[in-house]
Structure formats: C-alpha cells, structure tokens
Chains A and B, each alone.
Chain A
Amino acid sequence: MPELDQRDVDVELVGVTKRYGDLTAVAGVSLAVHRGEFFSILGPSGCGKTTILRMIAGFIEPSEGEILIAGKPTRGVAPNRRPTSLIFQHLALFPLMNVYDNIAFGLRMRGVSEGEISGRVAAQLELINLSGYGPKRVDQLSGGERQRVAIARSLIIAPTVLLLDEPLGALDLKLREHMKEELKAIQHRVGTTFIYITHDQGEALAMSDRVAVMSRGRIEQIGTPSEIYEQPQTRFVAYFVGENNAIAGRTAREDAGRVVVDTPEGRLVSRNPQGMEAGRSGLIFIRPEKLQCTAGDDRGSGPNALRGTLEEIFYEGPMVRMRVRLHTARQVAVVIPNLGRTVLPAVGDAVVVTFSADDAYLLPDGGA
C-alpha cells in the first residue's frame, strides 16, 4: 500500500461511539495506531476495551464515528473481508481440528493451494517454536503452546493489524511473564502492528510502544509507557497506573512550571502539568518510590518534607515498603530499594518523608 496517508497510520478511530440501549460502552474514542507499533489499550474491567477491538475486527459496527484501516473506511465491511485478525481471550482454537488444520484455516479460506499451505504452516510452526506439532490435537497442548498456535493461526494470513484481547489472561503467572517476552519477540520478528488489550498495567507498560488508558468508554490519555507513568494527565491515570500517594491542597501561586500548594501538611511544591492557576484546589501526586524516609523529626531545609511516624515495614525482597502516618493522620506509602546497607528506621520512630518537586505533580480536584 504505497500511497498511504501521513505518518503511516494503520488503524485510525475517529470519534467512535458504541451504545447498547442506554449504556454507552465506548464514548467518542479517537486514536491512531502507527504501522508496526505495539499499541496497548489499558483499562479496568467493563471500560469498553473489548468493544473497541470487536469494532475494529468488524464484529460490531460503531453507533457513531469511523474506523479506518490502512486508510480505508470500514463501515459495512464484514470481518472476513478486513485485513485484521483477532486473538480471542480464550483463543477459540477449533477443537475438532489439529494444530496444522487450525493454522491452515485462514489460507484455505483464501483458496491457497495445499502445497503452498504446507510450506507456510511449517514456517509458522517454526516461528512459534512448535515445529512438528502439526498433527497434535489442540486439547493436547499446554496453555503456552495453545497461545502460540492462536498467534500463528492469525499471523499466517499476514494481517495488517493483529488484535489481541487479553490473550494472557488465562495463563498462570509464570507463564504470563514468559509469554510477555515471547509476544514481544514475535512482534519484533514479523513487524505486524499489534493492538493489545489488557487490564494489567505491568503488561501494558512492559510491552508497548504506546499505551491508551481508558475509563468508562473514554480515552484518558495516550502516550509512551514512561509518559503514562511519569506524567499522568488525569487523576484516573494517576490512580490507575502504578501506585500513588495523593495530598489535597489549594494552589498559592504558580511560576515557571512549578506550583506552590497549601496543604494540611504544610506548603508543598510540585510540577504543574495542567498549568493550574492560583486559588484552585487540586491533588498532589507522588509515587512511593520517589519518596525518601529518614529517621528523626528534623524537617531540614528542603521545601517538601512531611513529618510522621513509621507505622509498619513490609519486607518484599528487592524492595522495602513502609507505611508512614503523617501528623494529620494521613498515611503515605514509601518504597525504597533494598540495598542492604541502608539503616532503616524502626517501627514507631519519628520520621521525615521528603521528595523532590520534580517528582510530584498537581492535578485538578474536580472530574474523574
């Protein structure tokens, strides 16, 4: 497809809305997925992820808006005529066919000769490291093998985009870690655009080139994993992705991208990504691993220091997690790497929790 539009967009959603009666499952979603990108959609259960994927695959039509695949509008195009392929949550391997016939299915539908099919299926089996598995029945496969067969079955028809609906959801933890890497590696090898749905932020952050975070049918933010993690644009993203401490307050003044906020804990300084003006109420977010915790009650000279008592220590192996009760009775979580040599304060000690203004950010109070 040489004469494609700017920036090689493979899939584009323009104001896509899907309603079921009174319920709006997807509300005005717009996004563009680039060629070869690993694009994740992350959101809690019921936020409309599957609905978006099924609209792209063609199983349901949007109530409003348009979906373009490789620059072409798709309204009215049946699933079997779209250059997409969907990996179902429970894989949907055909139980009455063996591995070979499952993988060959798409080529047979396209009238490819059996001679060519056998070569291409063998190549696919090799790609997923299952050479020689052709005659096996699908119910004889392990979870990870089934996963890979499902991927091969979709990839063999060389879809423009591969759609994956929480494909790792059914696997146990260990296998999930392994398949994460495997999926990423396969994507590298074939270079196909992946749209990947998950409610597991670890998966989304680790595998994706970009992530769209959804809530209640809307896109909250689209960005690279580090943008999503380090610079949440909305309170929802701040709370949903990773762990966060939040401190409510009112802005005193703002200058040069920084903002000074009056909180019950005293005056705090943070970034001001939304450019909030003075006199507005908001929440300062700061991640547990960005906090330092030292014994004593000396606030020192830095701007952001909170006094409290160490209430609990959780030893988590590579990390040590601490719960500190501030003097306002608010609790904050602090996570520090377990370097082995740091002398930790003891439970019950008075501690001071400090952080850098660069690591904290203020988001408005109202809204989601």
Chain B
Amino acid sequence: MTTRVLARVTYLLYLGVFLSFLYVPLAVVGILAFNNSALPQFPWQGFTLRWFRAIAADPLLLRAVANSVVVGAAVVALAAPIGVITAFLLVRYRFPGKNLLYTLVLSPLVTPGVILGVSMLIFFDSLGVQAGLATAVLGQTSFIASFVLLIAAARLQKFDRSLEEAAQDLGATPLRAVLLITLPFLRPAVMAACVVAFLLSFDNFNTTFFLIGNEITLPIRIYTTVRLELSPTINAISVVFILLTVTMGMATELLRRRAST
C-alpha cells in the first residue's frame, strides 16, 4: 500500500469513528425506547410500543408539549417582527449609536443562556411579575430575535434598492413600496427565520429553566423526569422530540437554501 492510500483509509476510518461517536448514543436512546423492559437498559427483552402509549397517558407530558408549542408560537410572533424591523433599521439607516446598538442586539448570541435567564428573572421579580410562560417567552425572545435579525439582514443586504425606488417612481408611497416590493423579496428569509425561531424556542432549556416558574415545557419536563428516575418513557418521548426537531431542522435548511438564491 502506498502512503497515499494509507492516508485515505486513515481519514475514512476517522470519519467513521467520528460518525459512530455521534450516532451510537442516539441509537441507544432510540433502541431502548422499544425495549420491553421496565428500565432503559439492555438486554433486549422484546419489541414494544408501550412506552409510546405511556406518553399519551401522561397528562404532564402532554401539557409540556402544548406549552412548548404555545411558547414557540408566541416567540415567533414577537421575535420575527422585532428581528426583521431591526434588520431594516441596521441595514438601511445611519444614526448615532448605531454600532453600539449593533453590538447590543448581537450580544445575546455570545451570552450564556443562563445569564439571560437569571437577569430577566431578577428584573421581572423586581417588577412583581410572576415567572411563567409569559416570562419564558420574553426570555427566549431576547436571543432568538438576534437570530432572526441575522437571517433577515443577510437577505436585505442583497436587495436592490432601485427596485423600491422604481416602485416609488411609478407612484407608490415609500411604505407601499416596502410592502409590495421589499417584503415579498424578504419572504423566504422571514419564513426560514420563523422556523428557526420556533425550533430554538422549542429546544431551549438554559434560559427557560430560570424563567418558567411552576410551568413546564417539553425540555424542562424531560429534564425533571430524568432527574427523578430513569424510565423508557423518557426514551420514547426523546424519540418523538428528535423527530420533531430534526424535521424542523430540515425545514429550515430547505428554506434557507431557497432564501439564499
């Protein structure tokens, strides 16, 4: 064997080991969700769907899922307009303090989620606001809006301003020109941003954990269940969770790809 072939084989081997390292743990979770054993461990005791049926029978889990959906929708409804409007502001206008604002709106991307959660917990508490779903929504919005901003700004930068001017020239008011020409152009990016926002919200633990109060979302519920006991039901709900987030992830990839053309 030449060294070239040897190098190739080593490389492929490395990739294989890496991918196994990624997938084996997930496979363990998945397989044990179908194992007919009271504990999530081997040996294999036969195939069953009873852990999935147990999800449906767990009112707390269902409530957690419902809450996650509600919170996600609310975060999208808040973060999408905030992010898109701020993208307009930062891409289109020059004003004093613009760089400071830029740094501030992007800072949540490099701030540990715990800090966002803790600081808002303190703030809302000082206002006498009870922690709950609403505070979780605000907490998540604080950093998810930054993601929306980035996606929208990238697309907006590609927009040819003369299209808007052409619309004005043909009689559209500046606002109508934005509504009829610019927003349709932004639409794929905004859609991608909405899915990303929902996914990030659905997935979020660190910030939510401090702001959720006595309520639960799906990640919070899974966390507390794991802390309490190990049960195959957790595996089952994990499988569902994986399917949901991976589907959403795929959707964002597709939308993003479309938005970048």
- A residues touching B (Cβ–Cβ < 8 Å)? 57, 59, 78-80, 84-86, 88, 90, 92-96, 105-106, 109-110, 153-154, 157
Contact = CB atoms under 8 A, between A and B. Distances in A.
A307 to B, nearest CB: 56
Interface string B146-169: 000000000000001011011111
A96 B184 contact: yes
Contacts, number: 57
B171 interface: yes
B93 to A, nearest CB: 16
B163 A94 contact: yes
B162 A105 contact: no
B168 A88 contact: no
Nearest to A88: B162
Contacts of A90: 160, 162
Nearest to A86: B169
Given A85-B170, A90-B162, 9 more contacts: A59-B168, A78-B173, A79-B165, A80-B169, A86-B169, A88-B162, A106-B170, A106-B171, A109-B176
Contact of B170 (A59, A78, A95, A105): A105
27 contacts: A59-B168, A78-B174, A79-B169, A80-B171, A80-B173, A85-B169, A85-B170, A86-B165, A86-B169, A88-B162, A90-B160, A92-B162, A92-B165, A94-B163, A95-B163, A95-B185, A96-B184, A105-B167, A105-B172, A106-B170, A106-B171, A109-B167, A109-B172, A153-B170, A154-B169, A154-B170, A157-B171
A95 B166 CA distance: 12
B163 A80 contact: no
Contacts of A109: 167, 170-172, 176
B181 interface: yes
Contacts of B176: 109
A273 B62 CA distance: 94
A-B pairs with lowest CB-CB distance, top 5: A109-B171, A106-B170, A92-B166, A92-B162, A79-B168
Given A80-B172, A109-B172, A94 B165 contact: no
Contacts of A154: 169-170
A157 B170 contact: yes
Contact of B169 (A84, A93, A95, A96): A84
A10 B231 CA distance: 84
Interface in B166-200: 166-174, 176, 181, 184-185
B179 to A, nearest CB: 12
Interface in B74-115: none
Contacts of A105: 167, 170, 172
Contacts of B169: 57, 79-80, 84-86, 154
Contacts of B167: 94, 105, 109
Interface in B238-261: none
Contacts of B184: 96
A92 B160 contact: yes
Contacts of B172: 80, 105, 109
Specify which of B162, B167, B171, B181 lies most central, judged by the most chain A CB atoms within 10 Å of its CB: B171
Contacts of A94: 163, 166-167, 181
Contacts of B181: 94
Contact of A88 (B166, B171, B173, B185): B166
A201 B185 CA distance: 37
Nearest to B176: A109
Specify which of B166, B167, B172, B176 lies most central, judged by the most chain A CB atoms within 10 Å of its CB: B166
Contacts of A153: 170
A293 B167 CA distance: 57
Contacts of A59: 165, 168
Contacts of B174: 78, 80
Contact of B171 (A86, A92, A95, A110): A110
Nearest to A110: B171
A86 B168 CA distance: 10
Contacts of B160: 90, 92
B194 to A, nearest CB: 19
Contacts of A88: 162, 165-166
Contact of B168 (A78, A93, A110): A78
Contacts of A93: 166
Specify which of A79, A86, A90, A95 lies most central, judged by the most chain B CB atoms within 10 Å of its CB: A79
A86 B185 CA distance: 22
A109 B174 CA distance: 12
A96 to B, nearest CB: 5
Contacts of A57: 169
A84 B165 CA distance: 13
A109 B160 CA distance: 21
A246 to B, nearest CB: 40
A271 B107 CA distance: 73
Contacts of B171: 80, 106, 109-110, 157
Contacts of A85: 169-170
A85 B172 CA distance: 12
B167 to A, nearest CB: 7
A154 to B, nearest CB: 7
Contacts of A96: 184-185
Nearest to B160: A92
A19 B184 CA distance: 35
Nearest to A111: B171
Nearest to B164: A92
Nearest to B187: A96
A93 B163 CA distance: 7
Nearest to A96: B184
A290 to B, nearest CB: 43
